Chain A
Amino acid sequence: MSRILVAEDDPHILRLIAMWLRRQGHEVLEARHGAAALALIEEQAVDVLVSDVNMPGVDGLELIEAILPQSRVRRGVIVLTNRWDHGEIRERLARWGVQVMPKPFSPTRLSELVEALVRAEGEPAESGENPGLAAGATEVQFVPPPANLPPA
């Protein structure tokens, strides 16, 4: 059983992801925004972080940036976003090597990805530098963004 933190401001999506992961037998921590997620991670390290990007207050990117050096996420980070076509966001996520699931997403795929991260061979990434890469998952999907996108 792994501990998974889900940070998502949309209550329907949060509830759905939690439901799926619990049915897979994971312990799920729920956070409605980045600040809550940070507090939960401070409290206890998690295996996988599933986070939205666009959240009130501390958003997903700030959350990941904050937790990266702390190695409080052992297996990897999965980012759910409907801003995956945003150049800057895409670039930052790619630099960190986190898994990206564009919204709308398939909960089946998400649970598979979480399973892959959790069951990945080898030691968990202690350094926390590249949590996503350490997981060895392949589900990285980018769609070329349209030109002339405005800044965030």
Chain B
Amino acid sequence: MCAEQIQEITPKQPAGARHLLWRGVLPEAVGLCFVAIIFTGFAAAYLVARNAWEEQTTAARQAEAARLATLTADAIGSGMQSGTATALLRQVAQRPGVHAIQWTGPAGEVRFVWPSPGHAVPTLTAVEDLTVAAANVRTPEGVLEGTLRIELAGAWDLASDSHLFWNWAIAACTTLIVFVLLYRRLRGHLRPLAALHQNLEHYAAGIERQLEALTLGDALGATAQSWNMLIREFAAARQQLETVRRANQTGDILTRFEGAIFRRVVDRLPFGVLCVNSDQTVTYANGSALALLGARSEAVLGQPLGEAVGAPAVAAAVSGAQARSSAGLAIDHTLTTGESETTLRFRVLPLSDEAAGGETLVSIEDIGRLKESERARDNFLYHVTHELRTPLTSIHAYAETLTRPGFDDEQTRKECYNVIMSETRRLSSLVEDILSLSQLEVGTARLDVGDVDLVRLIRQMVQDNLGAADEKRIDLTLTLPPKAPKVRGDKQRLSVLLMNLIGNAIKYTPENGTVQVTLTVSEQRVAISVRDTGIGIAPEDQAHIFEKFYRASDDKVQAVAGTGLGLAIAREVARLHGGDIHLQSEPGQGSTFTVELPVSNTESAEAFAR
């Protein structure tokens, strides 16, 4: 019954539910057995009671028969002489229920028999039984005068038997009725419990995980209704959880999290964030804000803004912004902590929505680097314009000269043209250098990478510089190893590098000096060194010599034309090839520039080629 109920309320038959059938049959079978046992019990009790009643009746009859026989035998014994014995026996025979009497003498002779021979023995009815009793007959002197045997016929009391039966039958029926009523009553409570039990078992076993399928029929009563309510609430909670989980998987972090995680996100922002309430008190400061202000959280949180950031101007800006609810104010404030100095830019961003409750957001950025890079850019531009103006000045002045009357003689014109031409070339190469250096530095330079035969390239470069060396009677020599590996690189840029180094060496070496170019090869690297006997470089200049536009303040250096870009380009080219450039120099003794480059098969060369 319970099983049927469960099958009704589980629309999807769960797997392995066949055993439920047993549960359906079993209670009925058990009930029938129980009824049978009750009936059998009552029948047995009835039979036992009836048996006892029969035994009791039989014993009573036997006792009566024995008493009659004894009394009669005693009476015969005492009345033997008087001859009244026979008459007595006849009287006894007339008593109701006496079926037969026989007196047998000591020798076995029959002294009396009733009914007399020849008389019919009375027949017994269906409900009569015979009870036989015997007694010895003795005279008062104790002489045995034979044995008296009396047979009594007794009828069974059918009414009393029937009474007994019905008593037991009524008891059995009452018990059964009580049992059935009790069972029906209990079943009302047990049904939902059984269904619930089964649902829980299925849920635990994973047969049924759908909560909706675990509800019970409302007909199962209050227990089922309470259970269903529980299930519905649980299902709603689970659905809500599922929605949240799905949102977690698909939504961005801001829709997913509020609170702790969001706080961690804000904490890790690279710029500072302060929240200031309408009383100008700092209510929140993220990690970057504390780091930028160089303060502990106690010194910032809960403090007035002006004190927390050490800049009253910021507090004034915030209160101004709050009053006008305007945004975008930026205040730069230089913070000095110990020896270091940082310039912080505070931006005031009022949170105008109501949820923020009048809070104002203040962002903090370290603009020290920005300023540094602005300075570097300005410096670069300053130098570039200065360097460009030098050839431009010549071009402009000579070109103007060409247009003036009085300068039209052949020699002057020729000179003007020559200067314009050479200065134009200088200007153009300067522009090339600036562009090339800027590309090398930014990393946007396009390198035409291939295997470069360094020996050939160095030979070519030395060859190209022989003219310039001869002019100053400088001895330009080249030392090469017997065998040299190729390097991976951009031949054109490597030639610029070598040209700059050899050109510099000749430029800064006085007449009659020497410039030695040497290629040495080790296992993984090749080294090209350019040694001169020139003016040398002062130690204080050596650290800056590779910076762009840097030129030593030495008169001898200033006397030589140069832009201060050659070595910067040379170092960038060397580094782009996975190598580097070193300088050894003593003022007055000369300088040695050494370029080290990896050979073809090294990883750095491959990396650089990419």
Check A12/B412 contact, CB under 8 A, given A149-B378, A150-B378: no
Distance (whole angstroms) from the CB of A51 to the closest CB of chain B: 14
Contact of A10 among B379, B394, B407 (CB under 8 A): B394
Q: Which of A64-72, A91-99, A100-108, A125-133 contacts B (4 or more CB under 8 A)?
A: A100-108
Chain B 527-560: CB-based contact to A (< 8 A → 1; otherwise 0): 0000000000000000000000000000101110
Residues of B553-597 at the interface with A, using a CB-CB cut-off of 8 Å, are 555, 557-559
Distance (whole angstroms) from the CB of B369 to the closest CB of chain A: 15
Check A107/B400 contact, CB under 8 A, given A12-B394, A12-B423: yes
B386 at the interface (CB under 8 A from A): yes
Chain B 390-431: CB-based contact to A (< 8 A → 1; otherwise 0): 101111111011001011000010000001000100000000
Check A19/B393 contact, CB under 8 A, given A12-B423, A57-B558, A148-B374: no
Q: How far is the CA of A11 from the CA of B553 in the complex (A)?
A: 20
Q: How far is the CA of A32 from the CA of B107 in the complex (A)?
A: 196
B382 at the interface (CB under 8 A from A): yes
In the complex the two chains form, is A146's CB within 8 Å of B378's CB? Answer: yes
Contact of A20 among B390, B393, B401 (CB under 8 A): B401
B389 at the interface (CB under 8 A from A): yes
In the complex the two chains form, is A82's CB within 8 Å of B389's CB? Answer: yes
Check A83/B386 contact, CB under 8 A, given A13-B393, A106-B400: yes
Contacts of A12 in B (CB 8 A): 394, 398, 419, 423
Residues of A115-152 at the interface with B, using a CB-CB cut-off of 8 Å, are 146, 148-150
Q: How far is the CA of A150 from the CA of B376 in the complex (A)?
A: 9
Q: How far is the CA of A123 from the CA of B17 in the complex (A)?
A: 129
Contacts of B559 in A (CB 8 A): 33, 56
Contact of A23 among B374, B406, B555, B557 (CB under 8 A): B406
**Interface size on A (CB < 8 Å)?**
27
B268 at the interface (CB under 8 A from A): no
B375 at the interface (CB under 8 A from A): yes
Contact of A82 among B390, B407, B557 (CB under 8 A): B390
In the complex the two chains form, is A104's CB within 8 Å of B397's CB? Answer: yes
Contacts of A56 in B (CB 8 A): 555, 557-559
Check A150/B398 contact, CB under 8 A, given A56-B555, A82-B393, A104-B392: no
Residues of B200-253 at the interface with A, using a CB-CB cut-off of 8 Å, are none
Q: Considering only CB atoms, which chain A residue lies closest to B415 in the complex?
A: A15
Contact of A104 among B393, B401, B407, B557 (CB under 8 A): B393
In the complex the two chains form, is B375's CB within 8 Å of A148's CB? Answer: yes
Contacts of A103 in B (CB 8 A): 389-390, 392-393
* B interface bracket (residues with beta carbon within 8 Å of A): 20 to 34
Residues of A23-67 at the interface with B, using a CB-CB cut-off of 8 Å, are 23, 33, 54-57
Contact of B396 among A54, A55, A57, A104 (CB under 8 A): A104
Q: How far is the CA of A119 from the CA of B15 in the complex (A)?
A: 121
Check A107/B375 contact, CB under 8 A, given A56-B559, A82-B386, A150-B382: no
Q: How far is the CA of A105 from the CA of B400 in the complex (A)?
A: 10
Contact of B398 among A16, A83, A108 (CB under 8 A): A16
In the complex the two chains form, is A57's CB within 8 Å of B555's CB? Answer: yes
Distance (whole angstroms) from the CB of B378 to the closest CB of chain A: 5
Q: How far is the CA of A13 from the CA of B419 in the complex (A)?
A: 10
Q: Considering only CB atoms, which chain B residue lies closest to A148 in the complex?
A: B378
Distance (whole angstroms) from the CB of B547 to the closest CB of chain A: 13
Q: How far is the CA of A107 from the CA of B375 in the complex (A)?
A: 34
Distance (whole angstroms) from the CB of B551 to the closest CB of chain A: 10
Main secondary structure of the interface of A (DSSP, over half): loop
Q: Considering only CB atoms, which chain B residue lies closest to A107 in the complex?
A: B397
Distance (whole angstroms) from the CB of A87 to the closest CB of chain B: 11
In the complex the two chains form, is A13's CB within 8 Å of B412's CB? Answer: no
Contact of A108 among B374, B389, B400, B557 (CB under 8 A): B400
In the complex the two chains form, is B390's CB within 8 Å of A10's CB? Answer: yes
Q: How far is the CA of A108 from the CA of B559 in the complex (A)?
A: 28
Distance (whole angstroms) from the CB of A18 to the closest CB of chain B: 12
Contacts of B419 in A (CB 8 A): 12, 16
In the complex the two chains form, is B375's CB within 8 Å of A16's CB? Answer: no
Q: How far is the CA of A55 from the CA of B555 in the complex (A)?
A: 9
Q: How far is the CA of A55 from the CA of B559 in the complex (A)?
A: 9
Q: Considering only CB atoms, which chain A residue lies closest to B383 in the complex?
A: A150
Contacts of A23 in B (CB 8 A): 406-407
Contacts of A107 in B (CB 8 A): 397, 400-401, 404
Q: How far is the CA of A104 from the CA of B392 in the complex (A)?
A: 6
Contact of B401 among A16, A33, A54 (CB under 8 A): A16
Residues of B460-475 at the interface with A, using a CB-CB cut-off of 8 Å, are none
Q: How far is the CA of A93 from the CA of B386 in the complex (A)?
A: 18
Q: How far is the CA of A70 from the CA of B277 in the complex (A)?
A: 69
A19, A56, A85, A104: most-surrounded residue (chain B CB, <10 A) = A104
Q: How far is the CA of A54 from the CA of B389 in the complex (A)?
A: 12
Distance (whole angstroms) from the CB of B339 to the closest CB of chain A: 20
Contacts of B395 in A (CB 8 A): 104
Q: How far is the CA of A9 from the CA of B558 in the complex (A)?
A: 9
Distance (whole angstroms) from the CB of B4 to the closest CB of chain A: 93
Q: How far is the CA of A86 from the CA of B401 in the complex (A)?
A: 28
Q: Considering only CB atoms, which chain A residue lies closest to B380 in the complex?
A: A150
Contacts of B374 in A (CB 8 A): 148
Q: How far is the CA of A83 from the CA of B401 in the complex (A)?
A: 23
Distance (whole angstroms) from the CB of B443 to the closest CB of chain A: 25
Contacts of A105 in B (CB 8 A): 393, 396-397
In the complex the two chains form, is A10's CB within 8 Å of B393's CB? Answer: yes
In the complex the two chains form, is A13's CB within 8 Å of B558's CB? Answer: no
In the complex the two chains form, is B397's CB within 8 Å of A13's CB? Answer: yes
Distance (whole angstroms) from the CB of B511 to the closest CB of chain A: 18
Binding site for B on A (CB under 8 A): 9-10, 12-13, 16, 19-20, 23, 33, 54-57, 82-83, 85-86, 103-108, 146, 148-150
Q: A13-B394, A107-B401 are in contact. List 8 more A-B contacts (CB 8 A).
A: A54-B386, A82-B389, A82-B390, A85-B385, A106-B396, A106-B397, A107-B404, A146-B378
Residue contacts A-B, CB under 8 angstroms, 27 given: A10-B393, A12-B398, A12-B419, A12-B423, A13-B394, A16-B397, A23-B406, A23-B407, A33-B559, A54-B386, A56-B557, A82-B389, A86-B382, A103-B392, A103-B393, A104-B389, A104-B395, A105-B393, A105-B396, A105-B397, A107-B397, A107-B400, A107-B401, A107-B404, A149-B378, A149-B382, A150-B379
Binding site for A on B (CB under 8 A): 374-375, 378-379, 382, 385-386, 389-390, 392-398, 400-401, 404, 406-407, 412, 419, 423, 555, 557-559
